[in-house]
Structure 1
Amino acid sequence: MPRPRAEQISVADTPYYHVISRCVRRTFLCGEDRQTGRNYEHRRGWIEERIRLLSSVFALDIAAYAVMANHYHLVVKLSPDDVIPLTDDKVLEHWCCLYKGAPLAQRYMDGQDLCDAELRVVARYAETYRARLGDLSWFMKCLNEPIASQANREDKCTGHFWESRFKSYPLDTEEAVLTCMAYVDLNPIRAAIADTPETSKYTSVRERIQQRFNLADAIKNQTEQKTLNNFTLPLKPLLGFEERIHRGFQRGVLFCLEDYLTLVDETGRITRRGKRGAITPNLLPILERLNLDPDRWCERATAFEETYGDYRKKRRRAA
């Protein structure tokens, strides 16, 4: 008998998880269906936008992601303690980015005067939302359900879009985390739909290399699809890399970003049995292809991680 999700996920034991969600019947509902000729490529953009926006709402970080034709992969780091210091107002603000919330909560957020009894009810709503913001299952619910609704509206049909509930696998060592991240980032190359990491669309490695994500367009697109309520949060960057061990809480991946890109590039050149794609062996190393020397790359990586740190500081100040 399958175990309940709550018994499978233990943040105390490991905060990192590899998450997979597949389309029903594994058909091409996100990419190009070669049988009918219909192209669903734009839906991969829906999923990528949703992943990135939700990471700013929930108490988790995205270490890696890849959106494929009929499934997607995530490597997430859960940080439920991040929502503990948030005020009730901030919790409600986060939740109301996605949903309107209970009528009483809406009145409170609109600045209406409430009596003491009503304020106590609002506080209970805030505690409920606080628990949800630190929960992986709620993150996946808020990710998958709107995508399914969008796809069904577009196809003018009803029924399941996703094959089943998402699958999650704990990553209990640093080696497991790095291996899984590289595996996820190399998915388009193994599937022979991309030649190099920097050209792999809808992946975290491409976002790390380009170091940009169009927040305004993502909000506009998701709002037009009626999958957001009132998104007002800054974009949380992808989980950063921390080259050195330091005293106190270790937030990022304990590895150098430059070395990670090299790891992905070198791993992608290895031909795997049963996989169609690999990086062409005679290509230049990735940092040379990007025309970056190590010193310049380190400067860019440091700036990226400083941005990541600034986001955390803003959240602490807001709390």
Structure 2
Amino acid sequence: MLWLGEIFAIDICAYAVMTNHVHVVLHVNLRQSEQWSMEEVITRWHRLYKGVPLSHRYLNGDRFSPAEEKILMTLVEQWRETLTCRFWEGRFKSQALLDEKALIAGMAYVDLNPVRANIAATPETSDHTSIQKRILSIQNNRQQPSELMPFVGHIKQEMPEGIPFPFKDYLELVDWTGRAMREDKPGFIDNQQPPILTRLDISEAQWHRLTQRFEKQFKCFAGQKSSFEKIKDCFNLNRMPPNLLAG
């Protein structure tokens, strides 16, 4: 999956590989694919498939007739679209995350799967998860793993592309959420809320509803009602989906 993320125009935000299924949070990086040159598209495509004689000739620097060039350009645009929109489309259950609240809730839900299944005691001991990979990378290299979409801090103008939260806040949030929802263990919730909850104005009740039953709560879209209003025309939708957040 991480290898495919390097080929497709897909950023992997979170993942958890379980014994018989996998959870992922993905970002379709349309802007990235639009900026790919013809050579970049062909090179990425050849990492997955054999390509065609014309594509190999192009990389070898051969000359083309106008007709050959037109055929190759058509193929490359088809490949560009496939490398942008066909990562797992149509094969797996999915929800669209419409805003930052939905994004961070979905990531926490995914990263806590092994803890919820009682496979691991803590996020840092949860094998085959994005949160463990991020923690190990920070501990070993003091850098974020290149295979995953990075945390870039608070939302601000001209910020780099990435997850708009500080990674430290996310770690505290996941740990706090995991402690709060462990019904099989004694314990309590600290009265001091993590900064990210205050910043995003998510109440305790909303947060537990979002992370405890994320897939069941949201069928096709996840986010605030105001976020849905902005995109509903793109999908020719008239009715408001149930269980959207207020706002």
| TM-score, structure 1 as length reference | 0.52
- Gaps in structure 2 of 5+ consecutive residues: 139-144, 189-247
Which whole-Å CA distance do the structure 2 matches of 1:125 and 1:178 have between them? Answer: 37
Question: Shift in Å at residue 103 of structure 1?
Answer: 2.9
Alignment of 1:157-176 (within 5 A): 165-176=91-102
Alignment CA distance shift 1:281-1:272 (3 Å):
closer
Contact persistence 1:100–1:106 (CA under 8 A)? no
Contact persistence 2:155–2:165 (CA under 8 A)? no
1:92 — aligned with what?
A: 42
Question: Shift in Å at residue 281 of structure 1?
Answer: 5.0
Which whole-Å CA distance do the structure 1 matches of 2:57 and 2:99 have between them? Answer: 46
Which whole-Å CA distance do the structure 2 matches of 1:272 and 1:197 have between them? Answer: 13
Q: Of the candidates 76, 81, 94, which is equivalent to residue 131 of structure 1?
A: 81
2:7 — aligned with what?
A: 57
SS in structure 1 opposite 2:72?
helix
Which whole-Å CA distance do the structure 1 matches of 2:68 and 2:159 have between them? Answer: 38
1:246 — aligned with what?
A: 156
Which whole-Å CA distance do the structure 1 matches of 2:68 and 2:164 have between them? Answer: 46
Q: Of the candidates 58, 63, 66, which is equivalent to residue 108 of structure 1?
A: 58
Deviation track 1:219-264 (CA, whole Å, cap 9, x = no partner) reads: xxxxxxxxxxxxxxxx943111122222236622221100101111
The reply to whether residue 202 of structure 1 matches residue 152 of structure 2 is no
SS in structure 2 opposite 1:65?
strand
- Aligned residues with identical type, % of pairs: 41
SS in structure 1 opposite 2:169?
helix
Alignment CA distance shift 1:271-1:87 (3 Å):
closer
Tell me which stretches of 4 or more aligned residues in structure 1 moved more than 3 Å: 110-116
The reply to whether residue 140 of structure 1 matches residue 85 of structure 2 is no
Question: Shift in Å at residue 180 of structure 1?
Answer: 1.1
Contact persistence 1:59–1:133 (CA under 8 A)? yes
Which whole-Å CA distance do the structure 2 matches of 1:267 and 1:59 have between them? Answer: 31
State the number of aligned residues.
182
SS in structure 1 opposite 2:94?
strand
Give the letter for the 1:197 counterpart.
P
Alignment CA distance shift 1:189-1:104 (3 Å):
same
2:244 — aligned with what?
A: none
Which whole-Å CA distance do the structure 2 matches of 1:249 and 1:85 have between them? Answer: 19
Question: Shift in Å at residue 118 of structure 1?
Answer: 1.8
SS in structure 2 opposite 1:168?
coil
Contact persistence 1:105–1:122 (CA under 8 A)? yes
Question: Shift in Å at residue 91 of structure 1?
Answer: 0.7
Question: Shift in Å at residue 272 of structure 1?
Answer: 4.9
Which whole-Å CA distance do the structure 2 matches of 1:182 and 1:192 have between them? Answer: 16
Question: Shift in Å at residue 188 of structure 1?
Answer: 0.6
The reply to whether residue 81 of structure 1 matches residue 31 of structure 2 is yes
Contact persistence 1:197–1:206 (CA under 8 A)? yes
Contact persistence 1:244–1:255 (CA under 8 A)? yes
SS in structure 1 opposite 2:22?
strand
The reply to whether residue 261 of structure 1 matches residue 171 of structure 2 is yes
2:223 — aligned with what?
A: none
SS in structure 1 opposite 2:98?
coil
Question: Shift in Å at residue 86 of structure 1?
Answer: 1.5
- Gaps in structure 1 of 5+ consecutive residues: 1-50, 142-163, 213-234, 283-319
Which whole-Å CA distance do the structure 2 matches of 1:61 and 1:73 have between them? Answer: 14
Which whole-Å CA distance do the structure 2 matches of 1:249 and 1:120 have between them? Answer: 38
Which whole-Å CA distance do the structure 1 matches of 2:26 and 2:107 have between them? Answer: 10
| TM-score, structure 2 as length reference | 0.66
SS in structure 2 opposite 1:129?
helix
Contact persistence 1:91–1:129 (CA under 8 A)? yes
SS in structure 2 opposite 1:167?
coil
What is the alpha-carbon root mean square deviation over aligned residues? Answer: 2.4
